[in-house]
A = this chain, B = another copy of it.
Amino acid sequence: MAHPTSTPLIEVRDVTKHFGSVIALGGVSMTVHAGEVLCLLGDNGAGKSTLIGTLAGVHQPTSGELRVDGRPVRFASPRDALDAGIATVYQDLAMIPLMSVTRNFFMGREPETGWGPFKRFDMALADRITHEEMRRIGIDVRDPQQAVGTLSGGERQCVAIARAVHFGAKVLILDEPTSALGVAQTSMVLKYIGQVRERGLGVIFITHNVRHAYAVGQRFTVLNRGRTLGTHAKHEISMDALQNLMAGGKELADVGAELGGTI
């Protein structure tokens, strides 16, 4: 499923990112190919969101290089990344609580109708699409004109995911999309990820749930304290080994035993 010989859709080369005196990324490299799901794993604070931020144009890397389709790029803003076909679900969702679900869904990419100076935001179409996409993910919004601030945590996450999936063009980045989701919604999202991959997009999927990762991922990159611990294809590594790698080895054995391997 991975295509090691073809040009990767996205290539990250030795990227570092400093915030003031904090070194959030200390040299990370990674590739994503078309038609594959790359899972990004790692402990809290490992730097996953920061790495994703540099790919989505939110942060500019302190050093290192990004390549899209083999060409070096610099994203000055998230808009640049979107224009390059990279859609992202952010861990903090990037939604405006006071705005309606529909307005949030289409924020920055509003469908228009009419001509010339009388072009207008096609609200009817937008409402319809929003309602449909939300239903698909298993949420029946009462009213797409309802403010996002009144949605539950999981419902909000669903809006963010539905939006990214709807607009994803070449690469879809999902930062812990399933963390607040119920069982039905989670399985929906995982199925979606599979469908998206089959349609030839590259997906970067961040999660703490190794089962979820193992269910949809082809390759697994583990970050630890701002550095890559290496990338493994699915056939090279077992779920338990992945789990251990992610949490830093032996610590987990104890805990796992104690809680009856249920984590």
Taking beta carbons and an 8 Å cutoff, which residues of A are in contact with B?
19, 22, 42-46, 49, 91-92, 138-139, 142, 150-155, 157-158, 176, 179-188, 190-191, 208-212, 214-216, 243, 246-248, 251-252, 255-256, 258-260, 262-263
Contacts and interface: CB of A to CB of B under 8 A. Distances in A.
Contacts of A210: 183
B44 A187 contact: no
Contacts of A154: 43-45, 208
Contacts of A152: 44-46, 49
A215 B263 CA distance: 8
A179 B91 CA distance: 11
A44 B255 contact: no
Given A44-B154, A45-B139, A187-B252, A260 B215 contact: yes
A241 to B, nearest CB: 13
Nearest to A156: B44
Given A42-B182, A91-B180, 17 more contacts: A22-B142, A43-B182, A43-B185, A44-B180, A91-B153, A153-B176, A180-B208, A181-B208, A182-B246, A182-B247, A183-B243, A183-B246, A184-B255, A187-B255, A187-B256, A187-B263, A215-B263
Contacts of A209: 209
A182 B44 contact: yes
A262 B211 contact: yes
Nearest to A242: B183
Nearest to A20: B150
A11 to B, nearest CB: 24
Contacts of A208: 154, 180-183, 186
Q: Report which residue of A179, A212, A260 has the largest number of chain B beta carbons within 10 angstroms of its beta carbon.
A: A179
